[in-house]
């Protein structure tokens, strides 16, 4: 347990609450393993706090016959250190666990566990004690303990009643632990004791995301930064895609052999994000699992999904966070959509090549027939890639939510990186011209 929260001393009351935080201890041996003296690897600097040990070492010298080496002698090898005769022999760990000296920081996603003691400091007995503990935030009030149905029969003079409460921290900002007691004092008078213990919940992580779209794939980059004062060992950083998406994580070691993959699945190294600003990046590839079922939209944007993050801190204390829905680039739903399906490679100068296209009708009614043409460009910028042969392609009407694929025979008259541009769809029945196909870059080779 660490120190208690300050809640103010109640006046004119025989009972008083004391709140202490339950947390796990830690080892404090980080500095000793960095020293140059090999004796420090075995003993640790706190060994000299023992008067009997320190006087022996000073009299006989480090490494002498009475030195505290692991095997009983002056063997500093790993084999010698393996045979432990004293807790201080093992990599400078003295065998003691240290509790934090303050209440400490409380972070979002952790479990707040508190040991609460109600003490009777009066000379009289308190009877029929009804105890309540509530967690109050800016949004809600959560009941943690209520003994109304089974009051504490008696708390004698100088005695106490102890209990433990837990609360999963899901909100940032100010929190107040409200402890109340209703009891009969020594004169039989019914008294009410309220005490308030305040603390602030901070954010342990910041998650920055970036979305990029390349052709039919969407890539999500997530950067996780550690804002706590302790190292975080990430158990899981998993992206949960929305209904119409599928996701896979991309790693640098995706090309390793299958045997190594199986080994890495069995022996997973913990991913460490260091304290005070350490970062780690994750990359996910997202694909739409159903093109025909439409998109889930929020404010003109599509929902990609959310991240589930779990970690462990000091001696395995768990934490868990879930991000808000991650929004991708805005979707522009076209009534009539034209896309490039395939472009051959290589493309040779002044040799015809076929470009495959797909025309989709997103309307709830039949549209068309259509004419597909390509603009000739301005006089100052003549067309470098043009249709070879018939300059107009006629397509039959499309039923609602249907599509058709067709090809254009094209030819390039200049080498290098060029653009296919100006392909336009014209609805002959409605006399309407739709937006042209976005430019498509190609590379034209001389041979």
> Over pLDDT 90: what percentage of the chain?
9
CATH architecture assignment, domain 205-330: Sandwich (2.60)
pLDDT tens digits, one per residue of 297-331: 444 457 888 899 988 876 778 888 888 888 877 65
Q: What is the domain partition of the chain in residue ranges?
A: 32-89, 104-202, 205-330, 336-445
Q: What is the mean pLDDT of residues 383-412?
A: 83
Which H or E element spans position 112?
A: strand 111-120
**296 pLDDT band (50/70/90 cuts)?**
very low
Instruction: State whether residue 210 is helix, strand or coil.
Output: strand
The hierarchical CATH code for the domain 104-202 is 2.60.40.10
Contact criterion met (CB below 8 Å) for 164 and 177: no
Peptide bond into 114 cis (omega under 30): no
Query: Which tops the pLDDT comparison, 41 or 239?
Result: 239
pLDDT tens digits, one per residue of 70-82: 334 455 454 554 4
Contact criterion met (CB below 8 Å) for 369 and 397: yes
The total of other beta-carbon atoms located within 10 Å of residue 118's CB is 23
Whether 132 shows a pLDDT value over 90: the answer reads: yes
CA pair distance 264, 268, nearest whole angstrom: 5
Contact criterion met (CB below 8 Å) for 30 and 124: no
User: Is 336-445 in the same CATH topology as 104-202?
Assistant: yes
pLDDT tens digits, one per residue of 203-214: 888 899 888 877
Which H or E element spans position 217?
A: strand 217-226
Whether 130 shows a pLDDT value over 90: the answer reads: yes
> Over pLDDT 70: what percentage of the chain?
69
Q: Global pTM?
A: 0.56
Please give the class, per CATH, of domain 336-445: mainly beta
């Amino acid at each position: 347990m660490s120190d208690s929260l300050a809640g103010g001393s109640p006046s004119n009351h025989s009972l008083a609450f004391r709140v202490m935080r339950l947390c796990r201890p830690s080892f404090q041996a980080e500095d000793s393993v960095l020293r140059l003296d090999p004796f420090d690897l075995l003993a640790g600097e706190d060994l000299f706090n023992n008067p009997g040990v320190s006087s022996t070492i000073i009299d006989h010298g480090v490494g002498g016959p009475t030195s505290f080496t692991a095997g009983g002698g002056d063997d500093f090898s790993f084999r010698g250190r393996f045979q432990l005769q004293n807790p201080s022999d093992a990599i400078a760990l003295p065998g003691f666990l240290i509790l934090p000296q303050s209440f400490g920081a409380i972070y979002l996603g952790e479990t707040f566990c508190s040991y609460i003691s109600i003490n009777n400091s009066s000379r009289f007995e308190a009877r029929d004690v009804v105890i309540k503990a509530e967690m109050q935030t800016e949004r809600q009030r959560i009941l943690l303990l209520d003994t109304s149905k089974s009051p504490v029969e008696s708390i004698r003079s100088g005695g106490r009643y102890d209990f433990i409460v837990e609360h999963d921290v899901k909100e940032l900002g100010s929190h107040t632990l409200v402890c109340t007691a209703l009891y009969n004092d020594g004169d039989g008078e019914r008294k009410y004791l309220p005490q308030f213990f305040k603390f602030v919940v901070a954010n342990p992580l910041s998650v920055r995301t970036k979305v990029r779209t390349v052709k039919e794939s969407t890539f999500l980059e997530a950067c996780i930064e550690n804002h706590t004062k302790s190292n975080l060992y990430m158990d899981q950083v998993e992206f949960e895609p929305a209904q119409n998406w599928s996701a896979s994580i991309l790693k640098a070691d995706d090309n390793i052999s299958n045997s190594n993959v199986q080994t890495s699945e069995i022996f997973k190294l913990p991913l460490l994000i260091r304290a005070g600003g350490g970062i780690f990046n994750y990359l996910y590839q997202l694909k739409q699992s159903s093109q025909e079922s439409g998109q889930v939209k929020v404010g003109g944007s599509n929902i990609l999904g959310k991240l589930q993050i779990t970690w462990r801190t000091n001696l395995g204390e768990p934490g868990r966070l879930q991000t808000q829905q991650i929004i991708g680039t805005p979707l522009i739903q076209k009534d009539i959509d034209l896309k490039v399906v395939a472009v051959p490679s290589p493309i040779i100068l002044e040799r015809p090549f076929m470009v495959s296209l797909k025309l989709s009708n997103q309307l709830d009614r039949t549209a068309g027939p259509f004419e597909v043409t390509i603009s000739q460009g301005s006089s100052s910028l003549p067309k470098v890639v043009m249709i070879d042969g018939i300059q107009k392609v006629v397509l039959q009407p499309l039923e609602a939510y249907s599509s058709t694929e067709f090809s254009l025979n094209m030819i390039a008259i200049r080498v290098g990186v060029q653009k296919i541009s100006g392909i336009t769809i014209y609805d002959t029945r409605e006399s309407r011209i739709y937006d042209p196909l976005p430019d498509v870059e190609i590379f034209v080779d001389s041979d």
